[in-house]
């Protein structure tokens, strides 16, 4: 499995699945969640209504509708409360749950946003290390996933993920 760090708009990626940094209602919100819902069209919201929400750290899958991706995997990331409320474990669970769900649905290519680092205020460098470590560890177990992309919205985010990947490769 190849992990790539790229800059771009996740709603434009022609992959098997994109990950949505959702809220627990799965009914849309701000940031990447709102962008994905706008790009996918109203059918996405209609399908999300049938899922009855999702717990933080878990994931649920829908069709991609008007997106170039076949599927959207929705995962509510943890809100940062200083680090003492199991935020790191929950964030790790988000990535692992999404990878498992992607693989269970026959996906070979998956694109992730930086989960919880926007309005949920998870410290970017720590989130990047958790994401990169979790994805690389998942890939070591033998997987049908071929390419996982971390799609960074801006240069600061991409730099944090590039640094996290370089640090993991040094180990």
User: Domains along the chain?
Assistant: 2-170 (3.40.220.10)
Q: Is 9 a residue of the active site?
A: no
Average of per-residue pLDDT across 49-64: 98
Per-residue confidence (pLDDT) for residue 136, from 0 to 100: 97
Per-residue confidence (pLDDT) for residue 73, from 0 to 100: 98
Residue 141: pLDDT band (50, 70, 90) is: confident
Q: Is the pLDDT of residue 26 over 90?
A: yes
Q: Give the C-alpha separation, 80 to 91, whole Å.
A: 10
Per-residue confidence (pLDDT) for residue 168, from 0 to 100: 92
Neighbours of 154 (CB within 10 A): 9
Which residue in 9, 33, 154, 162 is the catalytic one?
33
Residue 76 forms beta bridges with which residues? 22
Only one residue has tokens 């209504």, namely 49
Per-residue confidence (pLDDT) for residue 169, from 0 to 100: 86
Overall pTM surpassing 0.95 (yes/no): yes
Q: Cα separations (Å) of 26 from 33, 113, 128, 134?
A: 9, 16, 23, 23
Any alpha helices (H) in the chain, and if so which ranges? 31-40, 42-49, 87-104, 124-140, 155-170
Per-residue confidence (pLDDT) for residue 67, from 0 to 100: 98
Q: Is the pLDDT of residue 170 over 90?
A: no
């Amino acid at each position: 499995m190849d992990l790539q760090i790229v800059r771009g708009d996740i709603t434009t990626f022609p992959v098997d699945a994109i990950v949505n940094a959702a809220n627990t209602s799965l009914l849309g919100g701000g940031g990447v969640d709102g962008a994905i819902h706008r790009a996918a069209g109203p059918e996405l919201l209609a399908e999300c209504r049938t899922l009855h929400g999702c717990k933080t750290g878990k994931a649920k899958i829908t069709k991609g509708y008007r997106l170039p991706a076949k599927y959207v995997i929705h995962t509510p990331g943890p809100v940062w409360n200083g680090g003492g409320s199991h935020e790191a474990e929950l964030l790790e669970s988000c990535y692992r749950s999404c990878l498992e769900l992607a693989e269970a649905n026959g996906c070979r290519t998956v694109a992730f946003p930086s989960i919880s680092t926007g309005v949920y205020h998870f410290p970017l460098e720590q989130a990047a290390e958790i994401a990169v470590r979790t994805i690389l560890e998942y890939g070591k177990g033998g997987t049908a996933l071929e390419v996982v992309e971390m799609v960074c919205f801006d240069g600061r985010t991409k730099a944090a993920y590039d640094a996290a990947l370089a640090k993991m490769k040094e180990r």
